[in-house]
Amino acid sequence: MQKLWLKDFEHNISATTWAAADDIVQAGGVKALREVERHFWVASVEDGAGTYEVETIITPHKIKAFTCECWTEGRRLMCAHVAAALLKLRQFLEQKQEERKAKAEERASTELSRITVVNVLDNATPEALAEFVQEYARRDRDFALALKTWFAGTVSNTENPFALVLDSVIPKNLNAFREPDFRRLRTTLEDLNKQLATAFEERNYPAGFQLAATILQKINPLIQKLEGQKRHLLLSQSQAAFFHFAKLQDEHVSPELREKAWDVALELAGQTLFPAEMTVPVMLFLTREATKEEKFRRINTLFDQTPSPAPPFLLHLFLGALARRGSPEAVIKVLEEYAEKPAIIRDAIVALTQARYSEASFRAGEHFLARIKFSLGQRRELEDTLLAIAKNSNDPARQINLLWQRFVQSGNFDYYDEMKNIAGKDWSAELKRRLATLRKQGDERMTAVVLAAEGQMEELAQLLEKQEDLKQFQQYENLFLPEDKAFVRSRYVELLSVYLAEHFGRPASEHVRAVLASLMQKGEQELVLDIIRGLATRFGDRPSLPDELAELFPKSKRKSILTLDAGR
């Protein structure tokens, strides 16, 4: 008999049998279910036509055997009576399991409740708790600090209790800043940031402002003096505080509180107390209201009164304010003063981009890329930045211009193909403009590259006929060899003739042989012979020339080469 599991035996019997068994159970037809021996179960099953005794063995969840009084001789398949008994048995065992589980949970709950903090607090008197807290705070420094941190906001006889808490954990001498001291500072900041988040959730904006401002004012100066992991950990706490601080511009807060937040941020910016990692969010916060004359005047005054060169943050802040006011030309004018410091210009453009001042960033980047010699890495970063701006703004003209510049500089056809893809049906007109520009600039090398890429062979041939650079012609000879060998012959004869007119003796003949060897390697023996004939006609007075050129061929053909001049 097939061994079945009690938990899913219905998947191994016919659907008809299972449906009949379920009907029997639903009608209460399984009765007197009992375990007469260990794992041996018996039940009476009524199906409307009669009552049948069912026996089954379960060990403990596997069905080992079963039988029913309804069975005829030789039957082995499960009947609906057996299936009904097994279903009822499974329900019975599952119910018992749930009851045992509930009792276990009840016992566990009863036992744990006797030692929970909630239970203790529910039963202790306020006087006893206060006495315990005072006593434990005297014995445990960390507990005392946590107590002061969490309940500092309830102290009313001081202007800023949170500042007092931080003052107590910030060492005056960093050389004595031991690991336990830093751990206490870090824990305090985490607790204060939790209270800060709660204050904003509850829309208690005055408390949120005081907490955030205090963290920024107390911790940012410390960040500048630390390095490594300690700096990183404090920086993350300062960033978390400013994240909530910046919401004071977005939330429904009073105008007075909004002004106070802006003033605090500008004051910290003036003291250059914001880490470089916070430049963009702070710049966005302060420049958001730069369209207001009074706010812009204060940013402008701060920048003007700062000795030159201004710190990067103040430069970026002032540029952001100009960009916010829609003055990209003014941004360029300010950056012109840093023309001899490409890295500063690059950083400023990147910062403007990150702050989403895309137009000012693009205009400045385009301006300085055309006028300043950046390092390869700086140029690549700026080009990537401008290309990203053009793509995000869905500006195909700008994308094509940037890709064209990259193609001209690198010769990488990936940029060329991307440019053609962007231009689409307008590529023909775009190509004409680009070729016209190259010709106006006198850039014959790149003109030839583009003509070759576009398969404009007639124009390419006209261009190459004007040039006397054999090496450049050799770059394109493969394009003409299949169908216009006459053109290749004429250019070789002409260009080598120019060379031989200025060079004499055997060294000149050796050079010609080396040049023609490349054609021989391509299997163009007849073409080479034709070129040699052309040269022999013009330079019959060079005895070394036939000797050298004959070396290109097998011995059987050398005699004909040596007699070319005589034959002519």
**Overall domain count for the chain:** 3
* pLDDT above 60 (res 164): yes
Percent of the chain as helix, strand, coil, to the nearest 5: 70, 5, 25
Is 155 within a domain?
yes
What amino acid is encoded at 244 in this protein? Answer: H
Tokens in use for 211?
Answer: 């907490």
Q: Verify that 143 and 87 share a domain, yes or no.
A: no
What percentage of residues in the chain have a pLDDT greater than 90? 63
Q: Verify that 132 and 107 share a domain, yes or no.
A: no
The region of weakest confidence among 167-176, 235-244, 489-498 is 167-176
pLDDT one-digit tens code per residue, 487-534:
999 999 999 999 999 999 999 999 999 999 999 999 999 999 999 989
Is 163 within a domain?
yes
Tokens in use for 418?
Answer: 């991307």
Predicted local distance difference test score (pLDDT) of residue 117: 74
Q: Verify that 147 and 103 share a domain, yes or no.
A: no
Structural domain ending residue among the three candidates 178, 210, 245: 245
Closest C-alpha among 337, 385, 394, 392 to residue 363: 385
Q: Verify that 77 and 28 share a domain, yes or no.
A: yes
Closest C-alpha among 367, 342, 412, 422 to residue 390: 422
Q: Verify that 157 and 96 share a domain, yes or no.
A: no
Q: How far is CA 458 from CA 329, 463, 484, in A?
A: 45, 9, 11
User: What is the distance between the alpha carbons of residues 97 and 119, in angstroms, rounded to a whole number?
Assistant: 30
Tokens in use for 223?
Answer: 């960040």
Band of pLDDT at residue 566, cut at 50, 70 and 90: very low
Is 213 within a domain?
yes
What global pTM score does this model have? 0.66
pLDDT one-digit tens code per residue, 338-383:
999 999 999 999 999 999 999 999 999 999 999 999 998 999 999 9
What amino acid is encoded at 427 in this protein? Answer: W
Buried b (16+ CB within 10 A) or exposed e, 514-532: ebbeebeeeebeebbbbbb
**Mean pLDDT in residue range 316-333:** 96
Q: Verify that 100 and 132 share a domain, yes or no.
A: no
Q: Verify that 9 and 74 share a domain, yes or no.
A: yes
Is the CB of residue 75 less than 8 Å from the CB of residue 93? no
User: What is the distance between the alpha carbons of residues 350 and 330, in angstroms, rounded to a whole number?
Assistant: 17
Structural domain ending residue among the three candidates 220, 245, 270: 245
Is 484 within a domain?
yes
What DSSP string runs through 531-555? HHHHHHHH-TT-THHHHHHHTTS-H
Q: Verify that 146 and 208 share a domain, yes or no.
A: yes
* pLDDT above 80 (res 555): no
Burial class of residue 6, CB neighbours in 10 A (0-12, 13-18, 19+)? middle
Q: Verify that 482 and 563 share a domain, yes or no.
A: yes
Answer left, alpha or beta for residue 263, where phi above 0 means left and psi between -120 and 50 means alpha.
alpha
Structural domain ending residue among the three candidates 58, 91, 112: 112
**Residue 78 neighbours by CB under 8 Å, 6+ apart:** 9, 13, 17, 66
Q: Which domain holds residue 550?
A: 468-567
**Mean pLDDT in residue range 447-471:** 92
Q: Verify that 65 and 90 share a domain, yes or no.
A: yes
Q: Angle at the Cα of 274 (from 271 to 280), degrees rounded to 5? A: 125
pLDDT one-digit tens code per residue, 93-134:
889 889 988 888 777 665 544 557 777 777 778 888 888 878
What amino acid is encoded at 281 in this protein? Answer: P
Is 459 within a domain?
no
Is 442 within a domain?
no
| CA atoms lying within 13 Å on the CB side of residue 301 | 8
User: What is the distance between the alpha carbons of residues 331 and 174, in angstroms, rounded to a whole number?
Assistant: 40
Our measurement of the distance from residue 97's CA atom to the centroid of its chain's CA atoms, rounded to an integer in Å, reads: 51
Band of pLDDT at residue 39, cut at 50, 70 and 90: confident
Is 277 within a domain?
no
Q: Verify that 56 and 162 share a domain, yes or no.
A: no
Q: Verify that 157 and 91 share a domain, yes or no.
A: no
Is 562 within a domain?
yes
The region of weakest confidence among 8-22, 167-181, 380-394, 421-435 is 167-181
